[in-house]
A = this chain, B = another copy of it.
Amino acid sequence: MKNEVNGLKGIGTFPAFPVVLVTVRNNIITVAALDFFSFEPPMMGVGICPDRFSYELIKEDQDFGINIPTKDMIESVEFCGLNSGRDVDKFNATGLTPMEPTIIKSKLITECPVNLECKVVKELYLSSEFSATHDWFIGRVVTAHVDGSYEKTQALVYWAKKYRTVSDVFSTTKI
């Protein structure tokens, strides 16, 4: 039995999106507003609310790192989502170790098994166009660093205030 609800309640029904730590300059922000935009060239985008500290940084620096955390990093993920880089140095506060990028200027995070270096190629100012909550920064993934022992079931996914993980694979597509 279905009920008709407003669109926002509909969005809340999604199971989960990958939650990542986005690094901009020396700051860290927890982001589930993340998506792939193109396989080739590889492009990823992040949605950031205009009032966030990282928002001005990404507009100025035009690059960002996407760092995939593991389940055992949940406390740092929570911390970076609840605190502002205006008030605290999040690398210091969490004990996470800055990692030097190869191409971009933003630091990466050593403890994350995957780090993607992204250069902004397109900005979507949905806040001014539609009074939307998020603006989007779409980046080209210029290089990546991957720990070969990383298993996807160690990663965190998140939606509607709830952290989960993903199950083992139960089906593989034929294509």
Contact = CB atoms under 8 A, between A and B. Distances in A.
Interface of A: 1-11, 13-18, 33-45, 47, 68, 71, 74, 78, 81-82, 102, 113-117, 121-122, 124, 126, 129-134, 136, 138, 140-150, 152-153, 155, 157-159, 161-175
Contacts of A82: 173-175
B33 A147 contact: no
Q: How many monomers of this chain does the complex have?
A: 2
Contact of A134 (B37, B140, B159): B37
Contacts of A163: 169-173
Of the listed residues A11, A18, A129, A172, the one surrounded by the most CB atoms of chain B closer than 10 A to its CB is A11
B10 A132 contact: no
